Amino acid sequence: QVQLQESGPGLVKPSETLSLTCTVSGGSFSVYYWSWIRQPPGKGLEWIGSIFHSGSTNYNPSLKSRVSMSVDTSVNQFSLKLSSVTAADTATYYCARADHSYDSSGSRYYYFDYWGQGSLVSVSS
Amino acid sequence: QSVLTQPPSVSGAPGQRVTISCIGSSSHIGADFDVHWYQQLPGTAPKLLIYANNVRPSGVPDRFSGSKSGTSASLAITGLQGEDEADYYCQTYDSSLSDPWVFGGGTKLTVL
């Protein structure tokens, strides 16, 4: 059974850097994209970025200038750093595994099949 | 504004059938995209409910079904139960977009 667990500070000061780590247990770490998704209180889901086991990344353009993701395959972990945070970055941050398949035209598509329980990060002085 | 549009809320009585729509913006996304659905129970993480338009992962009851036609997708729930009260999100992946992983705004299902 695949399990994901977020860890990191629950409180970050404005202008500082938010750092979270996701530890994956069960299943293979390769083949998949590993992703971060956030949800501000009372709002919907926002994809932050995804990293392949090789280290290649995709980031949401609206956050790209502040986001950095890394992966450590030796311990099945991947991490998120979000710099220069403001109150608008207050959210529950989820890590998730993105599996893939192929549509009728042969194009690859991804969906999130396993999620962590979420980590609430508040930005406040 | 998301490229996937969902109604903010739907409701139904126990035992009834409800549907949740997910409409893709043709100006941003082509017609040949697959839609996935997630259920988020109150206070919990989202859970994959349907992938590839109409495939249920193991353990998801067959009361849940998905369909897609053109740039519109739908999630149907039959035999509505109180435990189905949750937020539902559609999602797609399109490598031609600058943010390829896209979620709809979410729909709150209320069981009356």
Q: Answer whether B109's CB lies under 8 Å from B18's CB.
A: yes
Digit-coded pLDDT (tens) for A15-71: 999 999 999 999 888 889 999 999 999 999 999 999 998 999 999 999 999 999 999
Own/partner long-range contacts of A52-60 (Cβ < 8 Å, ≥24 apart) = A53/A29, A58/A33, A58/B100, A58/B101, A60/B99
Nearest by CB to B103, from A47, A107, A110: name it. A47
- Greater confidence (A10 vs B33) lies with A10
Encode chain B (112 residues) as per-residue pLDDT tens digits: 678 999 999 999 999 999 999 998 766 555 677 899 999 999 999 999 999 999 999 999 999 999 988 888 999 999 999 999 999 999 998 777 777 889 999 999 999 9
Flag whether residue A65 sits within 8 Å of chain B, measured between CB atoms: no
Among B2, B5, B68, B99, pick the best mutation site for testing chain A contact (most A Cβ within 10 A): B99
Give the pLDDT score at A103: 80
Give the pLDDT score at B30: 59
Measured CA to CA, the distance from residue A49 to residue A37 in angstroms comes to 7
Measured CA to CA, the distance from residue B16 to residue A99 in angstroms comes to 33
What six digits make up the tokens of B43?
């206070």
Give the pLDDT score at A30: 83
- Cβ of A46 within 8 Å of Cβ of B101? The answer is no
Q: Answer whether B68's CB lies under 8 Å from B51's CB.
A: no
